């Protein structure tokens, strides 16, 4: 994994909340805040092979999605925007290993929160 860096020139969200974006060649973690509280995060991993996203929202919604990179569109000669598509089956061990790789790269409070939510929703599960 390449070095994870925080992208600093990220605009505020339409609701006025703050957003932090951490990125590397293989991983992205985007965290949305309302005040000092995390309201949502998207943990995108395996970007170079088969990108997937673990999406958590404070309202209790958790989703595991595949990222369609827009490269494989039939009959279209240009790249389309990447989009999330359903992918309920989750490789729990892979997600746990991917988040563990970020332990030393993220602020402790961000890492602890994201790890807790991922473990909470993957322990004993193969689907979300």
pLDDT, tens digit, 9 for 90 and up, residues 77-99: 656 676 677 776 778 888 888 89
Q: Is pLDDT above 60 for 124?
A: no
Q: Is pLDDT above 50 for 44?
A: yes
Across the range 59-75, mean pLDDT stands at 74
Residue 128: its pLDDT value, please? 42
In the chain, the percentage of residues whose pLDDT exceeds 90 is: 39
Question: How far apart, in whole angstroms, are the C-alpha atoms of residue 13 and residue 111?
Answer: 21
Question: How far apart, in whole angstroms, are the C-alpha atoms of residue 26 and residue 61?
Answer: 25
CA gyration radius for the chain? 15
Count the neighbouring beta carbons within 10 Å of the beta carbon of residue 54.
Answer: 24
The residue ranking higher by pLDDT, 7 or 86, is 7
- Angle made by CA atoms 58, 63, 69, in degrees to the nearest 5: 120
Alpha carbon 60 to its chain centroid, in Å, reads: 16
């Amino acid at each position: 994994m390449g070095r994870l860096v925080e992208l600093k020139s990220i605009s505020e969200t339409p609701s006025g909340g703050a957003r932090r974006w951490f990125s590397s060649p293989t991983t992205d973690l985007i965290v949305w805040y309302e005040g000092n509280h995390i309201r949502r995060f998207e943990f995108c991993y395996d970007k170079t092979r088969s990108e997937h996203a673990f999406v958590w929202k404070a309202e209790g919604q958790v989703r595991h999605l595949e990222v369609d990179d827009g490269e494989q569109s039939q009959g279209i000669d240009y790249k389309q925007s990447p989009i999330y598509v359903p992918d309920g089956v989750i490789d729990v061990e892979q997600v746990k290993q991917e988040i563990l790789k970020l332990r030393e790269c993220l602020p402790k409070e961000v890492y602890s929160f994201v790890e807790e939510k991922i473990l909470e929703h993957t322990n004993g599960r193969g689907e979300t």
